[in-house]
Amino acid sequence: MPRETQRETLFTRRAALLAGGQALLGAALVGRLYQLQVLDKDRYSLLSDENRINVRLLAPPRGRIFDRFGTVLADNGRNYRVVVVPEQTGDLNATLSALGTLIEITDADRRRVLRDARHKHSFVPLVVRSNLTWDEMARIEVAVPELAGVAIEQGMIREYPYGMTAAHVVGYVAAPSEKDLTGDPLLELPDFRIGKSGIEKSQDALLRGTAGTSEIEVNAYGRVVREIAHQPGQPGQDVVLGLDMAMQDFVMRRCAAEPSIACVLLDAVTGDVLALVSSPSFDPMLFSAGLTPAVWQQLSTDPRNPLTDKAIAGVYPPGSTFKPVVALAALEGGAITPDTPITCPGYLKLGDAIFHCWKKGGHGTLHLHDAIKESCDVFFYETARRTGIDRIAAMAHRFGFGAVLGLDIPGERSGLIPTRDWKLATTGTSWQPGETLIAGIGQGAVVATPLQIATMAARLVTSRAIVPHLVRGDRLPPGGDPRPPEFAVLDIAQRNLALVVAGMDAVVNDRHGTAYAARIKDPALAMGGKSGTSQVRRITQYEREHGLRKVKDIPWKDRDHALFVAFAPVASPRYVCATIVEHGGTSGGGGSEVAAPICRDVLIEVQRRDPARQVPQPASVARAGPPAMPPQAPTIASHG
Amino acid sequence: MASFAPDIGHHELTFADKVRGLQWALMLLVALIAGIGFAMLYSAANGSLHPWASRQMTRFAIALVAMVAAALIDIRYWFRSAYWIYGIALLLIVAVDVHGRAGLGAQRWISIGTFQLQPSEIMKIALVLALARYFHGLSAENAGRIRYLIVPALLILAPTALVLKQPDLGTAMMLLAAGAILFFLGGVRLWVFGVGALAAAATAPLAWSMLRDYQKTRLYTFLQPDRDPLGAGYHILQSKIALGSGGLWGKGFLLGTQSHLSFLPEKQTDFIFTMIAEEFGLVGSATLLALYVLVIFYAFAIALRSRSQFGRLLGLGIAVNFFLYAFINMAMVMGLIPVVGVPLPLVSYGGTAMVTVMLGFGLLMNTGIHRDVRIGPLGESRLG
């Protein structure tokens, strides 16, 4: 059958061609596989991992803040919030309504949840409300079995057990603002908070810790399948302060009656800040939970500046509390000796100007010791005139005035000690001799912070360049610090220092001293000190001629500030306290009448507790709960 | 070649002869490939026989019986029934079309109890049978004459057009390609293919207008897969990621992340090759490819030994169909051709394709068993 054979031959030939074609196509498949699985393997592996692996940041727990005895000032509390998982609810609307019968859910919350439910995968938990109270939680917990898809989740919130008592020192945390963002993804976590003021801010790097990571595998819909790797991260370090919370609390209560006041209590030897009070204060929890515009408005417009730490950022003319500095400048410069007699007729004439003493009839002739004791203005006008502003300024700087002391919380202000150069540079006019006289009684351009005034006293009584600080290395060991910090010795004759300190002793303990009424009667606890009453506005010639107005007739904002700086015990000073009562407080009195009694009470209490040397029994350290403020305390409403 | 075969052309084959003639090696290869399929379906269900692997095994068992039955039936019976089978398949396609238009938009199957029959799959075999019978009766001279090609051309185009309308681009492509190859093997002059190609190019705009929007999108996507990585290009991109990330040795059985985390679409059906390549790497995918090559090689060997034109055409037609299945599927998941929805033969989950492919192998073995049977123009025996 040649025809059949011919057909078979043709078929075989074409079958061979077909096989060849198929072989080519098969080779193309092999080539493609090689390209994808060998040549481009790395690229596709990467894409595959990117597909399935999400890296989540784990926020490290923030370090806690303790006082010198281990009292917790800032802690991490639990913030309970109620969440719904839409896919488990069946009917989200009905679930929200049911939840609304248990706790208050605003329309805004409801709209937000419903909107999020539309945009997110249905297995993503949505927060309905945060910061649940125990009561609200209990109500939800009981109902959870009937509320499918509802759960209570736990987040972290910064807690300040003492609330406003140490708010300025400890500070507060808040969500990072736009300018805080450094590109660190940790800052972008929704619940993350950073320090915004006080220790929380200055020690933020230490307290923050480092983020951990959790690598999780997700499927194509974003649902978490499993955790692949977990790196816990580094919790923030705890910070111990030199503060004694019991003293801070005591001072706060003692100051509570005054409308606006600042008080500093230092360990004069170590420089530890034992209490740093600025009243009125604010509730730091308001910031960590998120501030409402109304509360912010109220806090920021209050004339008493609750948000400002007046102990370090309030600047006031130091008034007569500045006189020890002037005295030492004069003694060291040889402008006067302890025995130089100066006569006070009640005023001093310089050219055409008349400078008055606070005592209308004058003090008569007196020496330095009595001039300090009785705070004679004319004596110090004359002493300042003889010493010159530049030597006064130099001495003031050695005592910590005119520059920030470098306290380890932000916000400290430098105050001002005027000099000839400063005057020329800022006003373009030359220094007038009369300005030296005014500076001699701590008025005029001279301004200082309460912390600077307290530091001055600490340097006076220790003759060392004490620098105040809040952060300690560790808690106080029993018996006090074995090796207190060594501050440089001031290059001032011991004899001169002793003379000034003796004068300050007499201010309080001499029958004729200005603050004799505020003395500590127990000789073992006796304090020395210096009062000051600084003018807020000039006394007019009219007032001099027609008599001063009564205090209660002057508007509060125009009244004089009352200051007192004190140290105790007088025999071997360890504690220093400086108090400034803005505008003389409720009574409108001077430094010795209003501020001195506060210093007295604080120094009695601090010597009784002796926090520089004694570790109290645990029971005596108030641990739990914010202390109740006295009813008349100038509290800032924390709710709306 | 024929001289080594037992001379059984002069008398009827006994049942024992036929059973002895079964291609056991081919059956082993087929079972091996199906076994790989079971393993992958087990993996696709995250290490469970349910819901795919167990049902696929049952289907394979049924299909195996169908295959052997198809192999043992006398080849002349198949020859005589070829046009009938084709006619029934075509009618079923029309029925599905009419039914589909009445009901849902894109129904391609007929439900028989729980079994869903896709007539277009049956047509893949029916067309080969019909064309093999037609060309068997066509002399070499007549095969060169254009008027003798009108009927077989219609045999191809009628189901192709209907299937394209369903719309099932993959099956239409396969029918057209298989038909063209049978023309080629049947001895049609080469210039006819040139003319056919030109005609196809001329009717391309018409074909384009018949495509549904999603099919057009698939073609766009093929041309520019990165155009819309989360939309239409998503499937093919994820498939390439799965393939590529498998590397040389793969991620390990049950450990394919792309497939198990649902990034890979249709992992148990059209994209199952990707899953093999992800879990077993180039080694696994190349091994499967080699098994397919062996099967096709075997099919060629069987077909070429047949002494009848019908047997040869039927055998190679089946081989070509199988090749097209495998090639189109693999080229598709590798991003070499557009996504057209063709399953990987013997491996992808699905009943009709499994039965069709196995029936095809039955017919292929049939041509092996009956290689010496002479078939007359009407299917009668032509001894000696």
Bigger pLDDT: A374 vs B266: A374
Characterise B21 by phi-psi region: left (phi > 0), alpha (psi -120 to 50), beta (else): alpha
CA distance A79 to A133: 9
Bond before B167 cis per omega within 30 degrees? yes
Query: Which residues of chain B lie closer than 8 angstroms to A51, CB-CB?
Result: 238, 241, 257-258, 261, 263
How much is the pLDDT for A131?
81
How far is Cα B12 from Cα B6, in angstroms, rounded to an integer?
13
- Record the tokens describing residue A557, joined without a space: 């904002």
Structure tokens at A581: 């009562």
Chain A environment of B334 (Cβ under 8 Å): 29, 32-33, 36
DSSP letters along A264-305, please?
EEEETTT-BEEEEEEES---THHHHH---HHHHHHHHH-TT-
Question: Nearest CA of chain B to the CA of A41: how many Å?
Answer: 5
Cα four-point dihedral sign B32, B37, B40, B46 = negative
| Separation CA A80–CA A88 (nearest Å) | 20
Tell me which of B90 and A92 has the higher pLDDT. Answer: B90
In Å, how far are A331, A335, A337, A339 from A365, measured between CA atoms? 18, 17, 15, 11
Residue B2: pLDDT over 60: no
| Residue B87 pLDDT | 96
Provide the β-strand partners of residue A216.
A54, A227
pLDDT at A88 over 70: yes
Question: What angle is formed at CA A163 by the lines to CA A200 and CA A639, rounded to 5 degrees?
Answer: 115
A320 is catalytic: yes
Cβ neighbours of A37 in B, within 8 Å = 243-244, 246-248, 277, 281-282, 285
Q: Cα-flanking dihedrals φ and ψ of residue B201, to 5°?
A: -65, -35
- Stretch B275-287: mean pLDDT, rounded? 94
Please give the biggest Cα pair distance in chain B: 66
Q: Find the catalytic residue in A197, A279, A320, A375.
A: A320
Residues of A in contact with B245 (CB under 8 A): 41, 44-45, 47-49
Closest Cα to residue B43, out of B237, B257, B239? B257
Q: What is the pLDDT, as a whole number, of residue B260?
A: 83
How far apart are the C-alpha atoms of A533 and A335, rounded to whole Å?
26
What's the pLDDT score for residue A71? 92
Q: Is A223 on the interface with B (CB under 8 A)?
A: no
Give the integer Cα–Cα distance in Å for A330 and A340: 11
Q: Do residues A99 and A128 touch, judged by C-beta distance below 8 A?
A: yes
Share of chain A above pLDDT 90, in %: 52
Choose the weakest-confidence range: A633-637, B126-130, B147-151, B325-329.
Answer: A633-637
> Is residue A520 predicted with pLDDT exceeding 90?
yes
Contact A18 B248 (CB under 8 A): no
How many residues in chain A?
A: 640
**B366 residue type, one letter:** N
Q: How many CB atoms lie within 10 A of CB A596?
A: 30
The contacts of residue A27 (CB under 8 Å, 6+ apart) are none
For residue B222, name the pLDDT band (cuts at 50, 70, 90): low
Q: Where residue A546 falls among pLDDT bands split at 50, 70, 90? A: low
* B contact set with A (CB within 8 A): 139-140, 181, 184-185, 187, 238, 240-248, 257-258, 261-263, 277, 281-282, 285-286, 289, 293, 296, 300, 303-304, 309, 312-313, 316, 320, 323, 327, 330-331, 334-336
CA gap A357, A593 in Å, rounded = 18
**Tell me, what's the pLDDT at A138?**
86
- Split at pLDDT 50, 70, 90, the class of B282 is very high
Q: Do A36 and B334 touch (CB under 8 A)?
A: yes
Q: Is some CB atom of chain B closer than 8 A to the CB atom of A16?
A: no
List beta partners, residue A275: A265
Instruction: Give the span between the Cα atoms of A625 and B1, in whole angstroms.
Output: 102
Give pLDDT tens digits for B164-182. 877 777 888 899 999 999 9
> Are B261 and A7 an interchain contact pair (Cβ–Cβ within 8 Å)?
no
Query: What is the predicted pLDDT for the residue at B381?
Result: 63
Task: Write the CA distances from B104 to A491, B101, B210, integer angstroms.
Answer: 102, 7, 18
| Distance in angstroms (rounded) separating the CA atoms of residues A227 and A218 | 9
What pLDDT digit, counting tens, does each position of A400-412 carry? 999 999 999 999 9
Strands A261-267 and A528-534 come out as unpaired
| DSSP state letter for B11 | S
Q: How is residue A225 annotated by DSSP?
A: E
Locate tokens 């004791």: which residue? A373
Residue A574's nearest CA partner among A526, A633, A624, A620 is A526
Token pair in block for residue B162? 């209907």
Q: Can you give the length of chain B in residues? A: 384
Flag if B282 and A221 touch (Cβ within 8 Å).
Answer: no
Tell me the C-alpha distance between B124 and B137, whole Å.
21
pLDDT band with cut points at 50, 70 and 90 for residue B303:
very high
**Mean pLDDT across A544-558:** 70
The residue written with tokens 């009848």 in the block is B308
Q: Which helix (H) or strand (E) holds A12?
A: helix A2-34
CB atoms within 10 A of CB A97: 12
Whether the predicted pLDDT of A623 surpasses 70:
no
- Label residue A442 by pLDDT band (50, 70, 90): very high
Which residue would you say has higher pLDDT here, A321 or A193?
A321
Residue A402 one-letter amino acid: G
What pLDDT digit, counting tens, does each position of B17-62 carry?
A: 888 888 999 999 999 999 999 999 999 998 899 889 999 999 999 9
Whether the bond into B265 is cis, omega within 30 of 0 = no
User: Which chain B residues are closer than 8 Å to A43 by Cβ?
Assistant: 244
Q: How does DSSP classify residue A137?
A: H
Helix, coil or strand: residue B35: helix
Which residues of chain A lie closer than 8 angstroms to B238, CB-CB? 51
Closest CA to A576 of A307, A335, A276: A276
Instruction: Note whether B282 contacts A7, CB cutoff 8 Å.
Output: no
Burial B36-66 (b: 16+ CB within 10 A, else e): bbbbbbbbbbeeeeeebbeebbebbeebbeb
| Statement: residue A198 has pLDDT above 80 | yes
Question: Is some CB atom of chain B closer than 8 A to the CB atom of A179?
Answer: no
**pLDDT average, residue stretch A169-184:** 84
8 Å CB contact of B331 and A10: no
Q: Show residues of chain A in contact with B285, CB under 8 Å.
A: 33, 37
Query: CB of A225 within 8 A of CB of B259?
Result: no
| Cβ within 8 Å, pair B240-A10 | no
Query: A331, exposed or middle or buried, with CB in 10 Å at 0-12, 13-18, 19+?
Result: buried
Q: Distance between CA atoms of B30 and B330, rounded to whole angstroms?
A: 18
A234: number of CA atoms within 13 Å, CB side? 9
pLDDT above 90: percentage of residues in chain B: 48
pLDDT value, residue A636: 38
Are the C-beta atoms of residues A415 and A444 closer than 8 Å to each other? Answer: no
Please name which of A538, A598, A528 lies closest in space to residue A563, comparing C-alpha atoms.
A598
Chain B CB contacts of A20 under 8 Å are: none
| Closest CA in chain B for residue A46 | B245
Given a cut of 90, whether residue A185 has pLDDT beyond it is no
Which comes out higher in pLDDT, residue B134 or A59?
B134
Give me the total of CB pairs closer than 8 Å, taking one residue from chain A and one from chain B: 126
Rounded mean pLDDT of chain A?
86
| Least CB–CB distance from A37: residue in B247, B257, B330 | B247
Q: CB distance from A205 to chain B under 8 Å? A: no
Residue B271, number of CB atoms within 10 A of its CB: 29
For residue B313, pLDDT over 90 is answered with yes
Segment holding A118, helix H or strand E: helix A107-119
Note whether A539 contacts B: Cβ–Cβ < 8 A: no
| Structure-token pair, residue A365 | 């002739």
Mean pLDDT on A52-70: 86
**Beta carbons of A11 and B263 less than 8 Å apart:** no
pLDDT at B88: 94
More confident residue, A583 or A498: A498
Handedness of CA A630, A636, A637, A639 (dihedral sign): negative
**Three-point CA angle B182, B187, B190, nearest 5°:** 95
pLDDT at B104: 47
Q: Please give, one letter per residue, the 3-state secondary structure of A408-431.
A: CCCCCCCCECCCHHHHHHHHCCCC
| B9 pLDDT above the threshold of 80 | no
Give the H or E element holding residue A364: strand A364-366
Distance (Å) from the alpha carbon of A217 to chain B's nearest alpha carbon: 9
pLDDT at A374: 93
Residue of A nearest to B306 (CA): A8
Phi-psi region of B361 (alpha: psi -120 to 50; beta: other; left: phi over 0): alpha
Smallest CA-to-CA distance from A264 within A163, A161, A372, A412 is with A412
Asked if B286's CB is within 8 angstroms of A14's CB, the reply is no
Q: Per mean pLDDT, which range of A63-72, A385-394, A595-604, B11-20 is the poorest?
A: B11-20
Judged by average pLDDT, the poorest of A120-129, A575-584, B175-184 is A120-129
Q: How far apart are CA B341 and CA B170, in angstroms?
A: 6
Judge whether A589 and A563 are in contact, CB under 8 Å. Answer: no
For residue A598, pLDDT over 60 is answered with yes
Q: Tell me the nearest-neighbour CA distance from A89 into chain B, angstroms.
A: 25
Average pLDDT estimate for A90-104:
87
Asked if A47's CB is within 8 angstroms of B244's CB, the reply is yes
Which of A568, A116, A530 has its CA nearest to residue A323? Answer: A530
**What is the tens place of the pLDDT at every residue in A21-37?**
999 999 999 999 999 99
